[in-house]
Amino acid sequence: MNTVLLVVNIAIMILLVSLLFFMQKKHVSFSKRVFSALGIGIVFGFVLQLVYGAGSDIIKGSVEWFNIVGVGYVKLLQMIVMPLVFISIIAAFTKMKLSNNIGKISGLIISILVGTTAIAAAVAIAVTLAFNLEAVEIPQGDAETSRGEYLEQRSTEVENRTLPQQMLDLLPANPFLDFTGARPTSTIAVVIFAAFIGLAFLGVRRKNPEHAELFSKIVDAFYSIVMRVVTLILRLTPYGVLALMTRVTATSDYTAIMKLGKFVVASYVALAIVFIIHLILITLSGLNPVTYVKKAIPVLTFAFTSRTSAGALPLNIKTQTKDLGVSEGVANFAGSFGLSIGQNGCAGVYPAMLAVMIAPTVGINPLNPGFLATLILIVTISSFGVAGVGGGATFAAILVLSAMDLPVALAGLLISVEPLIDMGRTAVNVSGSMTAGILTSKATGELDTTVYSEPTQQLEA
């Protein structure tokens, strides 16, 4: 590896980071800085690949250093997820924001998440048929074969899990273990644990108001500290987006993307339609969808570049509460549930597209109404249970394909473009959880429409 070239690349990244810092000092809006970071990262990454080639040692070495900024930022976000969810849910009880309608709020959020996933599945089916996509069209090399074998092995671990078993996985048998994020369902488990503490607080307040008042003050203090940490981390968003996007564009296999361009385009058409459906739902609730887009852009951009819904949770909750007027309790429930239940992109669009593409390989007519109705039903049910088997689009696909008696191994055919498609899926997942929060808050009369309509608030220094 040429050390001089490596140092030059690192120096350029430092200069670009300095440019974003200068923009911050000049009070350029947060959204503009995030968009600038996205654009700069795309250009820088393309230049690096053009000069060195995607698989070069220079690229690999440079990306390792860039990851200090990009992956480091994601890790900081993941660090604060559990404390944020836990203390925010309890604070919602101590501030009397969830005491009377927690059941209604939870039911509405889950219904919206699962309902929009069913719609996403229908959209995916229509787009797949419109583009006439079939798995037999995809070239199969060593990487695809290896991926298929891996998926077949994993399918044996999840295909026999029943929905009741998956639902039981949501419960916090050991909340201290769940605080470590050890399980795929840890975030929801922490939400449930915090809700029990909140309900206990309400009981103590009736019988021993002095103790409840003390507990409330302690919670308020911890909440202030945690939110300050969140603010400090979120101020780093433009830098994280710059490094993450540079890595993506510098290391992507554009030859494979060109070969599978039809599948990539179809995937993004389906995801775009689902996003438009989110906007339609927001419009039907009486809110301005353009305002939502403007305020959601930073969190959706981060979700797109990082491919992590969990890492986007702090920015998701901050955007809902500070910019969109969603109450803290609703925002935390919607964001947390959205990590594992009813993911529109990963659990809705992706497995439905795969099932329709693969069906002809085993003699099934993908236009058969019975097949399509069954597919939508299975996708909807599976979207509620993905959390119990590890989460993510891969396991959603395994569940759906296994339930439909379709060959699971063929899901590995898209491995070469999986990262590119996953970026869009993650952004749609996050948009779905934010939409659920907005609609639920509006339905329960807790949405602050004044905050929703106001310009985006800048993160404090």
Asked if 430 contacts 309 with a C-beta cutoff of 8 angstroms, the reply is: yes
Asked if 430 contacts 299 with a C-beta cutoff of 8 angstroms, the reply is: yes
Which residue has tokens 């924001």?
97
Q: What is the pLDDT of residue 4?
A: 87
Q: What is the pLDDT of residue 136?
A: 67
Give, for 364, the enclosing helix (H) or strand (E): none
* Number of separate domains in the chain: 1
Write the CATH number for 97: 1.10.3860.10
Asked if 89 contacts 329 with a C-beta cutoff of 8 angstroms, the reply is: yes
Q: What is the pLDDT of residue 284?
A: 95
Q: What is the DSSP string of 289-310?
A: HHHHHHHHHHHHHHHHHH--TT
Q: What is the pLDDT of residue 122?
A: 95
Token pair recorded at residue 331: 């925002």
Assigned domain for 344 exists: yes
Q: What is the pLDDT of residue 143?
A: 52
Give the residue numbers spanning the domain of 275.
3-453
Q: What is the pLDDT of residue 160?
A: 60
Q: What is the pLDDT of residue 152?
A: 55
Asked if 325 contacts 439 with a C-beta cutoff of 8 angstroms, the reply is: no
d(CA 390, CA 404): 20
Assigned domain for 257 exists: yes
pTM of this structure: 0.81
d(CA 342, CA 154): 21
Assigned domain for 458 exists: no
Number of H helices, E strands in the chain: 20, 0
Assigned domain for 460 exists: no
- Mean pLDDT, consecutive 10-residue stretches, the chain (461 aa), reads 86 94 89 89 92 86 92 88 85 71 84 93 94 72 53 56 70 85 78 88 88 91 90 90 90 74 90 96 95 92 85 88 89 83 87 89 86 90 59 72 77 71 90 95 89 74 48
Asked if 388 contacts 169 with a C-beta cutoff of 8 angstroms, the reply is: yes
Q: What is the pLDDT of residue 282?
A: 96
Q: What is the pLDDT of residue 391?
A: 46
Q: What is the pLDDT of residue 359?
A: 87
Q: What is the pLDDT of residue 388?
A: 38
Q: What is the pLDDT of residue 154?
A: 55
Assigned domain for 373 exists: yes
Assigned domain for 397 exists: yes
Distances from the Cα of 135 to the Cα of 34, 230, 241, angstroms: 37, 44, 33
Assigned domain for 367 exists: yes
Residue 383: closest CA among 167, 59, 214, 208:
167
Assigned domain for 461 exists: no
Q: What is the pLDDT of residue 138?
A: 61
d(CA 344, CA 427): 10
